[in-house]
Every structure is written in C-alpha cells, then in structure tokens.
Chains A and B, each alone.
Chain A
C-alpha cells in the first residue's frame, strides 16, 4: 500500500490537534502578544480532550504505509499523554496567572505542539516518523524550559537542555543509521523481520545500534547515567513545565523505547534476549540506586522531584528488563505510567500552588501546610505515599505488579534492588510529609487559597490515586492484555 491510497483518516486526531494548535497560536497573535489569556488555556484543554476522544473513537487497528500505526498500545499511550498535557495546562493557568511577564499564548501553543509530537512518536512505525515526533516534542520542550527569559536559572537550564538534548538526538540518529546501513530500510516492522539473521553475522553493529539509541532515549526518560540534565532543568523551568518534563516527556520516551526495542529486537523469537536483559537490568539498578540516594540530599522540592523522577524511571525499566511475556510487561508499564502520571501531576499541582505562593522552592515552603490548607496537605501526602509505594494508593498496586512481574520472569534480585531503594525513598518522601504535618508554618505564610483549576486537578488526581489503589481492577482488566 503506498502513501497515496493509504487510510489517512487514521491520523484524524493528530491533524485535528495540529489545526487547533495553529488556531490557538493565531488567536494569540490577534489578541495582542502580552497580557493574561486564561481563555486560551481553557481552549487548549478542550482541544486536548477533544483529541483524546477522537483517539478513542479512532482506536481500531491500522497502519498508514508502514510508517504510522494505530493500535491498542498507541491509543492507550496517546490518551495518557493527552490527559497528562491537559492537566499540565490546568496547572499552568494558575502559574501564568501569577506570572504575567511571560508570553501566555505561546506557552499554550507550544504545549499543544509538544503533545502532537508525543502522539506522533507513539504511533510511529518508522524511524524517520519517530524522529520527527521526537524533535517536535523536544524543541517545544526546550522553548518551554527557558520560558522565564529574565530568570538566570531558567535560561541556564534551557541552554543545558538544548545542548544535551541535541547531543542525545544525535546519538539516536547515529544508532538508527547503523540499523539503516544493515537493513536498508527505516521501517521498524521491516527491520524486525530481518534483524535476527543479520544479528548472526553482525552482532557487534546491532548491539552498538541498541546502545546508541538507548543512550539517546535514556536522556529523554532520564535514566542514569544520562540524567545529569534533569535536576538543573527541572529547577530552572517554570514549575508546570517541570511537571510536563517529568510526566509527558518521560512517558512518551518510555512508549518509544517499548515500540522500538520490543518490536525490533524482541519481535521475532526474542533475539538479543540475554544482552538486552542484562543491559537494561544493570541500568535499572544503577538508576534506582543513584536516583534514590541523591534524592536524599536534596533541599529543593523541584530537584527532589527530579531525582525522584529518575528513580521512578528506574522502576519502570524493571519490567522492560524482566520480560516474561512481552505484552504482559507492556501492561505493567502502562498501568504504572497511568498511576505515575496522576500521582506526579497531583504533586506538581500542589508544588506550583505552594511555591508560587511563597516565592521559594525549598522544603521549608511546605512547613505547616496542614494548618494553611489541610486538604492540600492530605492530598500531597497521598501523592507522596503513592510515589513511595505504600498501601491504599495506586502506587502500591503499580509497584506490586512490577515486583510480581519481575518475580515471574525469575529476576528476584532486581525486585530486591527495587524494594530496598523504595525503602530509601520513604526517607525523603516522608521528609516532605514531616515538613507539612510536624513543623509549624512560617510566620508570614497565611492560609492558602487554592484556585479552582488547581483544586480540580488535585481532586481528580487524588480520586484516581485512591480508587486505583483500592479497586485497581477497574483499569487492569482494561489493559492486562494489550494486543501487540
């Protein structure tokens, strides 16, 4: 099937989102460049939700000329990502309301373009499409990270992000070029059909290709040793952008890691199984240990979230290393991704609220939060307990499923590393809880009033975190067997 008579309607959600992003971009110009524009935020949220609905309606399987796939996997990830971006925009509306020195319209349209890039990534069946999606996401993120133009930290973070992100992209391209050189095609599906026979003749080149791509993708999902950018960029970026980076970028990155590696290298007869397992298992181990240990020493809440995000990426690598049945591992990762999105965004909503109120982003801004806003303090505790993996939160079920899947694959030691590092994480998550419940508020911090957008986000995230913690079946039944 050529590109001319392909079923282009499969791309409807992407096209709609692209058009809506341009419309919002245009409206922004028509209403003057500066000033508060909350209506654009509302429009963006609606655009994202409309797209999510279209993705769901369009969920049937199909491909466009072997470059673009729509399947359960992509549908699931797209919905997660679109809902994630919508929540980030809801948080941003409060942030932009407090900071009117930034160009608001650009902010929203960049978010939408980033979401579009992420959607293209998870649907791509071709290395070129994938790269275009990745760059659309990355370049939008670079701009977003440096959005506070007059703030040194924001600029510093953005520059680091551009330089290192560009290098990571180069690594990905270099790794892809090896595959292209071997197979003569950029289609992931075609590559997967010939790679096993080529591996016999050229094992070194295939492994190098994996390693180069892993280094590049590893940057996007911030795994050790490719995580160095994360703390500085997270700290410097506007808080909603930090939330965006730690959720949307990361989950989209995981989606393409799964897509590329599972299709290409595991597609036929589990080729490269042993090397794969060991490389990923070692990276996961190092990521969990380094992320959690460095998080212990942090005093700044955004840097803490950066290292906690590194550790969480390590947890998500565990089911990729310990593969019992590939589709099963994907189910585990999707469930934990959903859980992670809601817990992290809930936490970031409260972090935005608190840090914007006090103007500081060290731990002490959380002192005595239980007195200033009991609901926010309780919700924050639930999110942190969830990230730590304690019971009656969705994080507990998600982590338990990762442990069980690791046990099923016979990698008890990896589950052991994950569990012990999780216990280390108790220390810093409870450190924030201690600030909120066991310290008195700063004298000049008064009662904290949450705006509607933040309250709604926090309530939704809280409901999902608790409901999926008690009745995870609601979601698991739906994703347990993703068709691959």
Chain B
C-alpha cells in the first residue's frame, strides 16, 4: 500500500496547478492535458482508496496525524482520515471534477487561469472531506471560496460580478458562523477538560466527539451550550447546503457560473454543507441534532416544496435546474432528521446521487445553450429532432432527477422516505405528516421537470435550430460518465451502501447513548 495515500489525494491537484503555472499560456492544449491528467490521477487514487477501504471497520481509515502548528496553549494538527461518510463524497468529487474538465474544453479565454483555479478548488473540496481537525476543515472550506469567486467572476455570464460577490459574502458569513461555532466547541471543551487538553489538539474531531459524549463534563457542556453550538453549526452549513431562507445566493451563482463551475457547485460544493452537518453537527452533538430533528425536518419539507414551486415558474432552464437543487437538498435534511439508519443512508445517497444528476443536468443545459444561445424555455422546443443525442441525455437526466426507478435518484428518495415514515416519534413527532407533505413535493418535481422537458425536447422545432450539430465525441465522456454512475447506483445500490452502512450505524449509535 502506498503510504500517506490521502495526502497524495489532496495535494496532487495543487501540484498540478503549480505545474500549469510554469507552462506558457499560449500552450492551451498542454494546459488542458495537464489539468485533465492531474484530475484523472486523483480519480485513480480515489478509486484505489475505494478498493482498499475496509467495509467492516467503522473507525477512521488511512488515518494520518502530524503536529502542524504549535500555538503554545493549543496545537493545531494535520489530521486526516476517511470513513464511510467521506469516501463516497471523495469519489463523487474526483469524478465530477474530472468530467467537468471535459465540459470546460470550450473555454478559450484565460485558459491557464481557469484550470489553475479548478485544480485549487479540487484540493479544497477533497481537503474538506478528509479533514479530521476542525481547523483544517475550516481552512479547506475557505480555500474553496477563492477559486469559485474567480471562476464565477471571470468566466461567468452577464451578471457575473454580482453573482460572484453574493457568493463571496454569503459563503463568507457562513464561514464566520462556522468558525465561531468551532471556537465555541474548542472553548467549552477546553473549559471542561482543563489542563488535560493542553497537550492535545483542541480542534480534533475524534477528540471533541469523545469529550462531548462524556457525561462527566455535563456541568460545563450544558444543554444550553450544546444547543447553541449545534444551531451555530446548523446555520453555517445551512447556508452552504443551502436551506431556506439562506438559499438566495444559489440561483445567482449557479446561473451565472460557466457550465463546468455550475457542475462543481451543484455536484460537490453543496455537498460540503450536508457533509459538515452530518460529520460535525450530528457526529459531535448527536443529542442536539435529534433534539432539533423537528426543525430540521420542517426546513427540509419547506426546501422541497418551496424549491419545487419556484422551479415550476422559472422561464430559464438553468434557473430551473438551480431551484431543483434546492428542492433536492430538502431530501437530505429530511433523511437526516429521521434519525433512522435508512433515512441517514438516504441522505448520504442523495448527496452522491444528486451530485451526479445535477452535474449532468447542468452539463446538458450548458451544451444546449452553447448551440442555441438561449436558455429561455419558451424559445426552445423540438430539440429531439435536431439534436437527438443531447435531447435524449437531457431527458434521461431529468428522469433521474425525478426519481425514476433504476436510477440513483429513486434509491435515495426511497431510503429517505422509508426513514421518515419509520422515524421514532419521540425524536421526530409528526413524521408521517411531514412525509406526506414532502411526497407532494416529489410530485411537483415530476411536474416541473416533465413540463420543462416537454417544452424543450418535444413540440415544434424552431427553424433556426434545424441545423444544430449534435454531441461532439468529447461531450460523450461527461454525459455517459455521469449518467452511467447514476444508473450504476440505481441498479446496484449496494455498491454504495456497503461502504456507508457501518458509519451510519456508528453515528446513530451515538444518539441512543
């Protein structure tokens, strides 16, 4: 086994970015090859991890810890490791990013910078999913902010500046609340354990999990303190996920971003919110997470319905997909709030599944826009006649998003709903009512997606779209890749669930205790 495999995983993209820095900016194809090559190697490393992962072991694997900064009274460690929660998201990240690089081949301006930023972004995202130290987690979380600001601001659409700054300020505020909650956790853990912790790291996730689970410290770590910390974390991650009412940055950012960035934003960046909520919110403060289960579930239902209703009235195809993301993230919240094994699995499944499907949808919208120069639904129509392949994949992506059986969306929604209907009434009252209301949201999803498909791919073909060229060979790579993984998970969900299962059981066992 290669030592320090995880470190290789997160720093390879950064090395690739530095390599690109040395290439003259005129050699666009060299730059593209280096970027795709680096990201491909990262993908291979992540697949090696997938293969070598011990599915019967619930703790952290490929664990690595080294002292990084010694601040005298507190040590910040470079502490990384993965479990069944991180691994699927790492695979998702490497796949979506690699495929999004194929989608960005049509970018011809400032190519060098674009790929450098994308690779830096990849390092940031992978870092978030492997960090086991809150400080390191925060560092990588913030690191994703800078590349995304540049990508939206430079290569974005008409309102790119506004979208970039809105993204910056919202995400920045989210980070502020997150870091304050981290500091609060550190401070109270420090108060509770006193001198015992001086030698160790006060930000280590495994250590904090133990400290917050220890009944002996209940005097310092009162319910009020824990509740406040959990709510802080919840708001911070809710901005990223995003949860109503913190979602308003998403439509701007997703719509204005170039296709590749939209794919990464929807496919991976949103998942950091869900991941953080499960890893840190539920993982360290399980009692508080279950205490606020009803709030989480209600917000989840609002997300589903509200996102779907807004999607229904959109006239712009890309905005429609953006609002569908908000709706789908509601299912993640719903799954978490059920606090059952299947619900939690459903939430993680939904993170992964939505990652593939939304990336595919954004790719398809981008491909259509590139040809027709419009995203307005009413101006499109009959695309299945002029570009049958693109139209077909768009339809398939929409079906996956609706939750057609055999595709990954179905599995995750099914698991989440099994979870919500089987929820313990003492943790989540009125679970069934919420489940039924959320079910209506699913019907709305079918409505807006099918209606949009009917208006774009079928119907009368405008004359000016008759001569459109269909998919290019390189466009097949992301289309087949993303749809393939969606089908794979849909047909054979065990491939994911046997990785996730033991971690989910481990997290849920903390709630009972």
Binding site for B on A (CB under 8 A): 324-325, 328, 331, 385, 390-392, 396-397, 400-401, 403-404, 406-408, 410, 412, 415-416, 419-420, 422-423, 426-427, 430, 434, 437-438, 472-473, 476-477, 480-481
Collect the chain A residues with CB atoms within 8 Å of residue B149's CB.
430
Can you offer 28 A-B residue contacts whose CB atoms are under 8 A? A328-B72, A331-B72, A385-B146, A390-B145, A390-B146, A391-B139, A391-B143, A392-B139, A392-B143, A396-B142, A397-B69, A403-B179, A407-B184, A412-B184, A412-B187, A416-B176, A419-B180, A423-B175, A423-B176, A426-B169, A426-B172, A427-B168, A437-B153, A437-B154, A473-B68, A476-B72, A480-B70, A481-B72
Shortest C-beta distance, B411 to chain A (Å), equals 36
Q: How far is the CA of A423 from the CA of B70 in the complex (A)?
A: 26
Is there contact, CB below 8 Å, between B168 and A430? Answer: yes
Shortest C-beta distance, A293 to chain B (Å), equals 14
Collect the chain B residues with CB atoms within 8 Å of residue A422's CB.
176
Q: How far is the CA of A430 from the CA of B162 in the complex (A)?
A: 12
Shortest C-beta distance, B246 to chain A (Å), equals 14
Binding site for A on B (CB under 8 A): 68-74, 135, 139-140, 142-143, 145-146, 149-150, 153-154, 160-161, 164-165, 168-169, 172-173, 175-176, 179-180, 183-184, 186-187, 190
Is there contact, CB below 8 Å, between A328 and B73? Answer: yes
Collect the chain A residues with CB atoms within 8 Å of residue B68's CB.
473
Is there contact, CB below 8 Å, between A391 and B142? Answer: yes
Collect the chain B residues with CB atoms within 8 Å of residue A472's CB.
69
Shortest C-beta distance, B502 to chain A (Å), equals 32
Is there contact, CB below 8 Å, between A434 and B161? Answer: yes
Collect the chain B residues with CB atoms within 8 Å of residue A325's CB.
73
Q: How far is the CA of A408 from the CA of B50 in the complex (A)?
A: 40
Q: How far is the CA of A159 from the CA of B429 in the complex (A)?
A: 71
Shortest C-beta distance, A429 to chain B (Å), equals 10
Knowing A423-B173, A437-B153, the reply to whether A403 touches B70 (Cβ < 8 A) is no
Shortest C-beta distance, A114 to chain B (Å), equals 33
Shortest C-beta distance, A279 to chain B (Å), equals 23
Knowing A408-B73, A408-B190, A420-B173, the reply to whether A437 touches B150 (Cβ < 8 A) is yes
Collect the chain B residues with CB atoms within 8 Å of residue A412's CB.
180, 183-184, 187
Collect the chain B residues with CB atoms within 8 Å of residue A430's CB.
149, 165, 168
Give B203's nearest chain A residue, CB to CB.
A404
- Interface residue from A401, A423, A477 paired with B172 (Cβ < 8 Å): A423
Is there contact, CB below 8 Å, between A434 and B183? Answer: no
Knowing A331-B72, A396-B139, A419-B180, the reply to whether A434 touches B187 (Cβ < 8 A) is no
Collect the chain B residues with CB atoms within 8 Å of residue A481's CB.
72
Collect the chain A residues with CB atoms within 8 Å of residue B183's CB.
403-404, 406-407, 412, 415
Collect the chain B residues with CB atoms within 8 Å of residue A328's CB.
72-73
Is there contact, CB below 8 Å, between A416 and B180? Answer: yes
Collect the chain A residues with CB atoms within 8 Å of residue B172's CB.
423, 426
Shortest C-beta distance, A83 to chain B (Å), equals 23
Q: How far is the CA of A392 from the CA of B14 in the complex (A)?
A: 12
Q: How far is the CA of A400 from the CA of B140 in the complex (A)?
A: 14
Is there contact, CB below 8 Å, between B153 and A324? Answer: no
Shortest C-beta distance, A401 to chain B (Å), equals 6
Q: How far is the CA of A392 from the CA of B141 in the complex (A)?
A: 12
Collect the chain B residues with CB atoms within 8 Å of residue A427's CB.
165, 168-169
Is there contact, CB below 8 Å, between B69 and A324? Answer: no
Q: How far is the CA of A87 from the CA of B323 in the complex (A)?
A: 52
- Interface residue from A396, A410, A419 paired with B176 (Cβ < 8 Å): A419
Is there contact, CB below 8 Å, between B70 and A477? Answer: yes
Collect the chain B residues with CB atoms within 8 Å of residue A419's CB.
176, 179-180
Q: Please give me the 7 A-B residue pairs with the lowest Cβ-Cβ distance, nearest first.
A: A423-B172, A480-B72, A419-B176, A407-B183, A407-B187, A391-B139, A391-B142
Q: What 8 additional pairs, Cβ within 8 angstroms, besides A392-B143, A437-B154? A: A390-B142, A390-B145, A403-B179, A407-B184, A407-B187, A423-B176, A427-B165, A476-B69
Collect the chain A residues with CB atoms within 8 Å of residue B165's CB.
427, 430, 434
B72, B169, B183 interface centre (most CB from chain A within 10 Å):
B72
Is there contact, CB below 8 Å, between A423 and B139? Answer: no
Q: How far is the CA of A403 from the CA of B154 in the complex (A)?
A: 33
Shortest C-beta distance, A296 to chain B (Å), equals 11
Give B190's nearest chain A residue, CB to CB.
A408
Knowing A390-B145, A390-B146, A423-B175, the reply to whether A473 touches B184 (Cβ < 8 A) is no
